[in-house]
Amino acid sequence: MSEHPQTYTKPLPSLQGLSGAFYGWCARGELRFQRCSACARWRHVPRELCAHCGSFEWTWERSSGRGKVFSWTEVVRALHPDFGDETPYAPVIVEMQEGVRMLSRVLDCPPDALRIDLPLEVQFVAVHESLSLPLFRRVAR
Ligand SMILES: [Zn+2]
Is the distance from CB of 58 to CB of 37 less than 8 angstroms? yes
What is the predicted pLDDT for the residue at 62? 98
Model-wide pTM > 0.85: yes
Ligand 1 centre distance from Cα of residue 22 (Å): 19
In a domain, 3, yes or no: no
CA distance linking residue 43 with residue 17, whole number of Å:
16
Is it the case that residue 1 has pLDDT exceeding 50? no
Does residue 114 form part of some domain?
Answer: yes
Rounded to 5, what percent of the chain is helix, strand, coil? 15, 35, 50
- Taking the C-alpha atoms of residue 55 and residue 47, their distance in angstroms, rounded to an integer, is 11
In a domain, 8, yes or no: no
Residue 59's pLDDT band, with cuts at 50, 70 and 90, is very high
126 located within any domain:
yes
Average pLDDT, whole number, for the chain?
Answer: 93
How remote is the CA of residue 122 from the centroid of ligand 1, in Å? 25
Q: Is the pLDDT of residue 53 over 60?
A: yes
Q: Which of 134, 136, 109 is nearest to 24 (CA)?
A: 134
Distance CA(5)–CA(83), nearest Å, equals 16
- Taking only the tens place, the pLDDT of each residue in 87-102 is 999 999 999 999 999 9
Report how many domains make up the chain.
1
**Domain presence at residue 1:** no
- In a domain, residue 5? The reply is no
Span 51-73, average pLDDT: 98
Determine the distance separating the centroid of ligand 1 and the alpha carbon of 67, expressed in angstroms: 22
- Which domain range does residue 112 map to? 14-138
| pLDDT at residue 6, as a whole number | 62
CA of 91 to the centre of ligand 1 (A): 29
Distance of CA 34 from the midpoint of ligand 1 (Å): 10
Sequence-distant (6+) residues with CB within 8 A of 48 are 18, 56
pLDDT tens figures, 8-45 = 888 899 999 999 999 999 999 999 999 999 999 999 99
Is 2 a member of any domain?
no
In a domain, 46, yes or no: yes
